[in-house]
Amino acid sequence: MDQSFVDKNVLDNSFSAIRRIKEMLGDVCPGYYIETYGCQMNEHDSEKIAGMLEAAGYRKASEKASADLILFNTCCIRDHAEKRTFGNVGFVKEIKENNPSLITAVCGCMMQQPGAAEALAARFPFVDMIFGTNELHLFPQMLESVMNGERIIRVGKPNEEIAEGLPIKRNAGFSTFVNIMYGCNNFCSYCIVPYVRGRERSRRAGDIVEEVRRVVRDEGFTEVTLLGQNVNSYNDNGLKFPELLRMVNEVDGLKRLRFMTSHPKDLSHELVMAMKECDKVCEHIHLPVQSGSNRILELMNRRYTREHYFDLVDDLRENVKGIELTTDIIVGFPTETDEDLEDTLDLVRRVGYSSAYTFAYSIRPGTKAAVMDGQIPEAVKKERLKRLNDVIAETIVKANDKYLGTVGEILIEGKDTRGEPMMFGKLGSLKMVYVKGDESMIGKYYNAMITGTRFNSLAGEIID
């Protein structure tokens, strides 16, 4: 397991650049606006960029149109994500016409694809700064150059190193992310992530525990989600994920511990037991299955079978009381037949997910599946996606009934003002519960009795 760290001198330079920008700005507090696409990794990277900007004297702008710096943190997991980004970067042209000193930046996974940065630079001459996933920790130096009139286009190979100690401006709330590893080595045949995020590398367990301690103690978060593309292959010199989970579980003041994503091929019985034995670990697991057909799973290079997946589900359900599963599924992978889809529908019915992210397969240039024979027409993918979503909706509704009359702890997250105003919060299983109440409840934990079901949420009454 590679575990090299960015040179301390390089990070010192980043901090020096932050100080110089702050001096340059003096009393001025320019506004920044960050638009983030894609997964929690990107969300969290944006929090790091926001952290650097705030340390340099920037403040979050209330809206895009009034910002002095607009940054797009892009995703390329599917074609759709890419198209949206191009459209939205285009709109900035108008804002720039009204505010010529506006700084526009584009970064993230999409920029890491061959030729993408150059194409974006040519199409949008007003973009001042383009960088990849490799250059996140160099953001202050690059921003300083842009402020001095340079245009920066800098995309290296995806990062092989870990940058520790950058400031992080976490999104407000009660729940936050902590990275435990970066990159991915799995090369699922449809997926672009290993190409744009580089090889797997794990942070030190001690650094992770310390960060969790800090966010709980100093920033008031009570729920933490440990992040990685495949947390089950976490490895800090032999210290594996179940052990890490047990270490984080000991952090004082932490109430809830979550993690994502788990790859079924690496989900061990030790992890199931750690989930069972750690009181703060929530009764939920996101376990992407991708397909219920063994033939397709093999073509996807997922390296497990549906039978193995069922065994994992049994182990989880036997040991982790009340556990809910969520998943990701792709339909329309090359050569997928109606029979393969039936296998997927059958798996979905048997597992009974509490929610699922479903996608039509999208060709990602450079991946193995992109050049496979037997690509499925878009109309067929669409139709299969609808069939899958219908089955999932059915299973979700069916699974809600078991909650009726039960009592569970919910963390109140906010107020829903559509219709009769209701407070909403989540159970450890991630199920959303609506209750009567007021804003003073936000951020607190309550026991609720479940009294009704909606489509993918529940209704309840506070009982303490």
- List of residues contacting ligand SF4 (CB under 6 A): 184, 186-188, 191, 193-194, 229-230, 263
Identity of the residue, 243 or 328, whose beta carbon is nearer to ligand SAH in the bound complex: 328
Rule CB under 6 A: which of 321-360 touch ligand SAH? 328, 330, 359
Closest CA to 184 of 176, 192, 173: 192
User: HSE on the CB side for 376, CA within 13 Å?
Assistant: 23
Identity of the residue, 184 or 411, whose beta carbon is nearer to ligand SF4 in the bound complex: 184
**230 burial type by CB count under 10 A (0-12 exposed, 13-18 middle, 19+ buried):** buried
Closest CA to 212 of 151, 269, 281: 281
288 part of the interface to ligand F3S, by CB under 6 A: no
CB of 208 to ligand F3S, least distance (A): 19
Phi, psi (deg, nearest 5) at residue 107 = -145, -170
Q: Give which of ligand SAH, ligand SF4, ligand F3S, none residue 362 binds (C-beta under 5 to 8 Å, depending on kind).
A: ligand SAH
Q: Give which of ligand SAH, ligand SF4, ligand F3S, none residue 361 binds (C-beta under 5 to 8 Å, depending on kind).
A: ligand SAH
Rounded Cα distance between 366 and 130, Å, is: 21
Q: Give which of ligand SF4, ligand SAH, ligand F3S, none residue 75 binds (C-beta under 5 to 8 Å, depending on kind).
A: ligand F3S
229 part of the interface to ligand SAH, by CB under 6 A: yes
Q: Give which of ligand SF4, ligand SAH, ligand F3S, none residue 109 binds (C-beta under 5 to 8 Å, depending on kind).
A: ligand F3S
- Angle at Cα 202 formed by Cα 275 and Cα 40, nearest 5°? 70
361 part of the interface to ligand SAH, by CB under 6 A: yes
In which region does residue 375 sit, left (phi positive, over 0), alpha (psi from -120 to 50) or beta (all else)? beta
41 part of the interface to ligand F3S, by CB under 6 A: yes
Strand pairing category for 284-286 and 256-260: unpaired
Please select the residue that binds ligand SAH; options are 78, 256, 384, 426, rule is CB under 6 A: 78
Q: Give which of ligand SAH, ligand SF4, ligand F3S, none residue 194 binds (C-beta under 5 to 8 Å, depending on kind).
A: ligand SF4
Q: How many residues bind ligand F3S, per CB under 6 A?
A: 12
Rule CB under 6 A: which of 172-201 touch ligand SAH? 190-191, 193
Rule CB under 6 A: which of 410-429 touch ligand F3S? none
CB of 106 to ligand F3S, least distance (A): 13
Is 221:174 a contact under the CB 8 Å cutoff?
Answer: yes
Beta bridge partners of residue 224, listed in sequence order: 176, 257
DSSP labels for 145-177?
A: HHHTT--EEE--SPP-SB-------PPSSSEEE
Identity of the residue, 76 or 299, whose beta carbon is nearer to ligand F3S in the bound complex: 76
Rounded Cα distance between 299 and 294, Å, is: 9
Rule CB under 6 A: which of 203-232 touch ligand F3S? none
Secondary structure of residue 437 in the 3-state scheme:
coil
CB of 17 to ligand F3S, least distance (A): 25
In whole angstroms, how far apart are CA 123 and each of 95, 126, 156, 366?
Answer: 17, 9, 21, 22
Please select the residue that binds ligand F3S; options are 50, 56, 70, 77, rule is CB under 6 A: 77
Rounded Cα distance between 46 and 417, Å, is: 29
267 part of the interface to ligand F3S, by CB under 6 A: no
Is 345:388 a contact under the CB 8 Å cutoff?
Answer: yes
The residue assigned the tokens 């009592």 is 407
Q: Give which of ligand F3S, ligand SF4, ligand SAH, none residue 196 binds (C-beta under 5 to 8 Å, depending on kind).
A: ligand F3S
Q: Give which of ligand F3S, ligand SAH, ligand SF4, none residue 187 binds (C-beta under 5 to 8 Å, depending on kind).
A: ligand SF4
Residue with the shortest CB distance to ligand F3S? 38
Please select the residue that binds ligand F3S; options are 137, 197, 284, 364, rule is CB under 6 A: 197
Identity of the residue, 141 or 367, whose beta carbon is nearer to ligand SAH in the bound complex: 367
In whole angstroms, how far apart are CA 464 and each of 3, 258, 413, 445, 449?
Answer: 47, 25, 17, 10, 10
- The DSSP symbol for 290 reads B
Q: Give which of ligand SAH, ligand F3S, ligand SF4, none residue 78 binds (C-beta under 5 to 8 Å, depending on kind).
A: ligand SAH
Rounded Cα distance between 401 and 223, Å, is: 27
Is 333:369 a contact under the CB 8 Å cutoff?
Answer: yes
196 part of the interface to ligand F3S, by CB under 6 A: yes
Is 210:252 a contact under the CB 8 Å cutoff?
Answer: no
Q: Give which of ligand SF4, ligand SAH, ligand F3S, none residue 38 binds (C-beta under 5 to 8 Å, depending on kind).
A: ligand F3S
Which parts of this chain interact with ligand F3S (CB under 6 A)? 38-39, 41-42, 75-77, 109, 192-193, 196-197
Which parts of this chain interact with ligand SAH (CB under 6 A)? 77-78, 190-191, 193, 229-230, 261, 263, 288, 290, 328, 330, 359, 361-362, 364
